[in-house]
A and B are shown apart, each in its own frame.
Chain A
Amino acid sequence: MKVLDDMMQKLKPKADGKFPLAYTVWDGMYTFLFVPGHTNKNGVHIKDGIDLKRTMVMVIIALIPALLFGIYNVGHQHFLAVGNVLQDAHVCEMFWDKFIFGALKVLPLIIVSYGVGLGIEFVFAAFNKHSIQEGFLVSGMLIPLIVPVDVPLWMVAVATIFAVIIGKEVFGGTGMNIVNVALTARAFLFFAYPTKMSGDEVWVSTTLEEGQQLVDGFSGATPLAKAVEGGTEALNNMNASVMESFIGFIPGSIGETSTLAIGLGALLLLITGIASWRIMLSTIVGGYVMAMLFNLWGANPFMELSPIHQLVIGGFAFGAVFMATDPVTGSQTNTGKYIYGFLIGVFAIMIRVFNPAYPEGMMLAILFMNIMAPLIDHYVVEANIKRRLKRVSVNA
């Protein structure tokens, strides 16, 4: 690797030269290939092996099961819609056709998201004269996974620009943002282009080739939309029973459908300690409790949906594992994390059930709690200060 190192060193542009962007790009590339051999001067002489790159890459690895499943499911849903495979055929029928169709749909989204987002990051880094921070590595993968498959690429580009600049860079870049970047992109799309982000037509890729037509009775609606209309029965009729929804061959945003695949990612995040188990657990508990309360109320069929079923449809699982646990925008204190997660779960189910116009309650719940997280932390820290002040009066 010495050869490569020497070659890179030869190419190194000047940091304060005519083209600051060239240096930023070089620095980004170089530190990607090599962890620079900086040594500690003051303070501790030895340091933990982990750095931000490794942390972020762990999250990306955790996203891979959901991504692969999402790609396959895009193809699966498409071929179901055009009638090439039947609902009761084995899911592995036409495996490679489905996978390749899905990949051709999903990869462009990933490329646009990374290309646009990293482009902006590089420009800002060059402008501010600091090195590239790794935050967008994860955001860039999250954005394609939380949009419907047929969203136009230019919309993804616009949303990414909005999210990175307004959601992150204006606050000072990675580590300084108030709300989750990927969810900002999704919220932007949701409110700016509602026709491409909601309704029944966007979730399954229905581009037809010559001679193809949609099967009779095709609706394309997500389980969430169906559940609003008809509760458990409607879900079971559309092949989205608890087990089917858990496995994930249902319409929905690309990465969110399979609770199973998301669960594999969650397992990795929990074993490595990258994501907070406190947030994940309390989010699920919050959602479960709220769904149970609605069960008791039971004013409409959606309220009667079993709690487990609520948790495996829509973006709940994906949000709980990958979005709520964002360490920058979430609660920072351990006590705060329980409250923060619990309320996300509660609000997600509440928004879903009370306001069918916003079926994706998870997105709004997390964004809302992102804003509330500093307040929660404030009261947790205040409680700590009061407790410590009490020691004085006890001693006196």
Chain B
Amino acid sequence: MSKDVKISKGANIKLKGIADKLHTNTFIPTEIVLKPSDFPTLTPKLSVKVGDKVKAGSPLFFNKENERILFTSPVSGEVIEINRGEKRKILGVKVKADTETQYESFVKADPLTLSKEDILDNLLKSGVWPFFRQRPYDVIANPSDTPKAIHITALDTNPLAPDYGFIAHGKNTIFQTGLNALTKLTAGKVHLNINGNLNADEVFTSSKNVQLNKIEGPHPAGNVGVQIHHIDPINKGDVVWTLKALDVLTIGKLFIEGKFDASRSVAFVGSKVKKPSYIKTILGANISNIINGNVEEGGRYISGNPLTGTQIAEDGYLGFYDYQLTVIPEGGNNQFFGWMTPGFDKFSLSGTFFSKLMPNKEYDLNTNTNGEERAFVVSGEYEKVFPFDIYPVYLIKSILVNDIEAMENLGIYEVAPEDFALCEYACTSKNPVQQYIRDGLNVLKKEMA
């Protein structure tokens, strides 16, 4: 049985610099960093110290609250630095890569022949586990839960997002092996949610042992939270695990080759990139040799997409979950009577800019906030881009006043910060909506623990 979902609320933000569908280059980084900050609410504990030799798949740190969850090195080499911030908080573990990668070996077997425990064990030990995220709270899944379902999103509708079908094309066996491992982990179904706007790649449509759902509509249709809400909504007490389709490839490779292969394709995009295209690199890679000579001056580097990604320095490192490196112009210029300009070059979800007349135009947006933070005034603008049967403003207000019962009733278990990214984009009063939701989820997680 499959389900067709049509989403009408939302908006695609069309930016300049989308990737051409070809792989231009392979960048083997000399250094990688694994950042605990990529994992919300994680308290890391180190397993290594500076000078230790590690292989790809050797643990660098683990979750203090659940010691089975390991974070392993994507490359082999030597731990050369442990970055700490205030109160000795661990910011990153830096590994200098060998020229030839050596891998820890893990169980190599067809997951259909393995037991649930063996599969879990293999995923946890290899460091592939953190790819599994759970709703509620949008954090790394707890391996001792049995989820109601596992949802995999095979489309990314964020601005400048990579085409998952292009990256996964032809890797049918690897993808199917990954899916097979997942089917053992849930009592319910594994849902593969594919693109209904265009023809989804054959690697997704030919998948077996899963329920294929077609998702149609503008962003945030690609957000797994939106898909879950329309396919099989989460109620209080339910746990659902989520993955990106590209993460399934890493799982598949683990069971076929018996190693943690952290290489991945990344969309190198944005108006400041000279030739936007796909590149091959490794999770946590240093971006300095990627951008070297390939970008124009004055850009902001974002690991991820412009809505939910993280700003990184020009010698920063790609995030754990990110298959996209975006470079867009940095703002910062004061705009003379900026609130009165006709606005041919600004994309707005309101109708107050002439750019509304050009629906297919691609924009070159910079990082200006285009206004100051204000009290909440305009009503109805979040609802236009929020395809949930949830009242977003009431949910946010319940979080701001820390009313846990209201948060539960208003649907906080179903949402993640990324689902509010468009609301934050559209907000006339420039409120940090994603941060509000993250705070609310953290409060609730603490309260329920």
Evaluate contact between B428 and A49: CB separation under 8 angstroms. no
Residues of B within 8 A of A (CB): 13, 15, 159, 233, 235-236, 300, 302, 306-309, 311, 326, 328, 330-340, 343, 346-353, 365-372, 374-380, 383, 389-391, 393-394, 409-411, 421, 424-430, 432-435
By Cβ-Cβ distance, the 5 closest A-B pairs, closest first, are A51-B371, A175-B375, A35-B338, A49-B346, A53-B339
- Which residues of B have CB within 8 Å of A172? 375
The answer on a CB contact under 8 Å between B378 and A44 is no
Give Cα distance in the complex from A385 to B389, angstroms.
Answer: 10
The reply to whether B368 and A37 form a contact with Cβ atoms under 8 Å apart is yes
If A48-B350, A49-B370, A274-B352 touch, whether A384 touches B365 (CB-CB below 8 Å) is no
Q: Considering only CB atoms, which chain B residue lies closest to A277 in the complex?
A: B380
Give bound CA distance, A174 to B421, whole Å.
25
Interchain CB contact under 8 A, A35 and B434: no
The answer to whether A49 and B343 touch (CB under 8 A), given A39-B331, A40-B367, A392-B235, is yes
Other-chain contact of A44, B334, B372, B389, B421 (Cβ < 8 Å): B421
Q: Is the CB of A45 within 8 A of B375?
A: no
Complex CA gap A45/B194 in Å reads 27
| Distance of A366 Cα from B383 Cα, bound (Å) | 24
**Complex CA distance for A389 and B235, rounded to whole angstroms:** 8
- Which of B159, B350, B380, B410 neighbours the largest number of chain A CB atoms within 10 Å of its CB? B380
- Give the complex CA separation of A125 and B217 in angstroms: 44
The smallest beta-carbon distance between B379 and chain A, in angstroms, is 4
Which A-chain residue is minimally distant from B233 (CB atoms)?
Answer: A391
User: Judging by beta carbons under 8 Å apart, are B350 and A273 in contact?
Assistant: yes
> A residues 361-396 with Cβ under 8 Å of B?
381, 384-385, 387-389, 391-392, 395
Residues of A near any B CB (own CB < 8 A): 1, 4-5, 31, 33-55, 57-58, 131, 133-135, 172-176, 271-274, 276, 327-328, 330-334, 337, 381, 384-385, 387-389, 391-392, 395
Q: Verify B365–A46 contact, CB threshold 8 A.
A: yes
CA–CA, A175 to B394, complex, Å? 15
Known contacts A272-B351, A327-B377: A37-B331 contact under CB 8 Å: yes
Q: Are B409 and A385 in contact (CB under 8 A)?
A: yes
Query: Contact between A38 and B389 (Cβ–Cβ < 8 Å)?
Result: no
**Interchain CB contact under 8 A, B335 and A37:** yes
Interface contact A42-B306, CB-CB below 8 Å: no
14 sample A-B contacts, Cβ–Cβ < 8 Å, listed by A number: A31-B372, A34-B334, A34-B335, A35-B335, A39-B332, A39-B368, A42-B435, A44-B425, A51-B371, A51-B374, A131-B372, A175-B429, A331-B379, A388-B389
Q: B314: shortest Cβ distance to chain A, in Å?
A: 15
* Measured CA separation A390–B370 after assembly (Å): 42
List the B side residues contacting A51 at CB < 8 Å.
339, 370-372, 374, 428, 430
Which B residues are in CB contact (< 8 Å) with A330? Answer: 379
A148 to B307, CA, bound (A): 50
Residues of A within 8 A of B429 (CB): 52, 175
Contacts of A334 in B (CB 8 A): 380, 383
Which B residues are CB-close (under 8 A) to A333? 391
Closest to A30 in B: B334
- A271–B374 alpha-carbon span in the complex (Å): 24
Which residues of A have CB within 8 Å of B433?
43
Q: Which residues of A have CB within 8 Å of B380?
A: 276, 327, 332, 334, 337
> In the docked arrangement, what's the CA distance between A389 and B383, Å?
21
Chain B residues, Cβ within 8 Å of A48: 347-350, 370, 425-428
Q: A39, B336: Cβ atoms under 8 Å?
A: no
Q: A133 contacts B375, CB within 8 Å?
A: yes
A38 touches B353 (CB 8 A): no
A334 to B379, CA, bound (A): 9
Inter-chain contact B336/A175, CB cutoff 8 Å: no
Q: Which residues of B contact A327 (CB under 8 A)?
A: 377-380
The interface residues of chain A lying within 8 Å CB-to-CB of B383 are 334
Docked CA distance A254–B89 (Å)? 64
Give bound CA distance, A385 to B394, whole Å.
11
The reply to whether B374 and A50 form a contact with Cβ atoms under 8 Å apart is: no
CA distance A334 to B386 in the complex (A): 13
B348→A49 contact, CB < 8 A: yes
With CB as the reference atom, state the residue of chain A lying closest to B308: A44
What chain B residues lie within 8 Å of A57 (beta carbons)?
Answer: 339-340
Q: How far is it, in angstroms, between the C-alpha of A134 and the C-alpha of B409 when the chains are bound?
A: 34
A175 contact set on B, CB distance < 8 A: 374-377, 429
Q: Is B377's CB under 8 angstroms from A135's CB?
A: yes
A37 touches B311 (CB 8 A): no
Known A49-B352, A273-B352; further 12 A-B contacts with Cβ < 8 A: A4-B336, A5-B336, A34-B338, A47-B369, A47-B424, A48-B350, A48-B426, A50-B348, A55-B350, A58-B352, A327-B379, A381-B410
Alpha-carbon distance A181/B410, docked complex (angstroms): 31
Across-interface contacts of B374 in A (CB, < 8 A): 51-52, 133-134, 174-175
A33 to B337, CA, bound (A): 5
What separation, in Å, do the CA atoms of A229 and B395 have in the docked complex?
Answer: 51
Q: A31-B372, A48-B347, A49-B370 are in contact. Are A388 and B411 (CB under 8 A)?
A: yes
List of B residues within 8 angstroms of A392 by Cβ: 235-236
Question: CA separation between A391 and B369, bound complex, in Å?
Answer: 39
Query: Chain B's nearest CB lies how many Å from the CB of A170?
Result: 15
Closest residue of chain A to B376 (Cβ to Cβ) is A175
CB distance from B341 to the nearest CB of A (A): 8
Q: Is the CB of A35 within 8 A of B370?
A: yes
Residue picked from A4, A33, A48, A51, most chain B C-beta under 10 Å: A48
CB-contact partner of A39 in B367, B421, B424, under 8 A: B367
A330-B377 Cα distance, complex, nearest whole Å: 11
Inter-chain CA distance A331–B394, complex, in Å, is 12
**A46-B377 contact given A37-B333, A51-B339, A55-B352, CB 8 Å threshold:** no
User: Nearest Cβ distance between residue B101 and chain A, in whole angstroms?
Assistant: 33
- Contact indicator A49/B375 (Cβ below 8 Å): no
Which residue in B365, B372, B435 is a CB contact (below 8 Å) of A38? B372
From A31, A45, A272, B307 is in contact (CB under 8 Å) with A45
- Taking the closest CB of chain A, its distance from the CB of B333, in whole angstroms, is 5
Contact of A37 among B300, B332, B378 (CB under 8 A): B332
Closest beta carbon of chain A to B332's beta carbon, Å: 4
On chain A, the residues within 8 Å of B369 by CB distance are 38-40, 47
CA distance A57 to B371 in the complex (A): 14
Q: In the complex, what distance in Å separates the CA atom of A332 from the CA atom of B381?
A: 10
Q: How far is the CA of A330 from the CA of B379 in the complex (A)?
A: 9
- A387: chain B residues within 8 A (beta carbon): 389
- CB-CB under 8 A from B366, the residues of chain A are 39, 46
Closest chain-B Cβ to A394's Cβ sits at a distance in Å of 10
Closest Cβ–Cβ distance, residue B331 to chain A (whole Å):
5
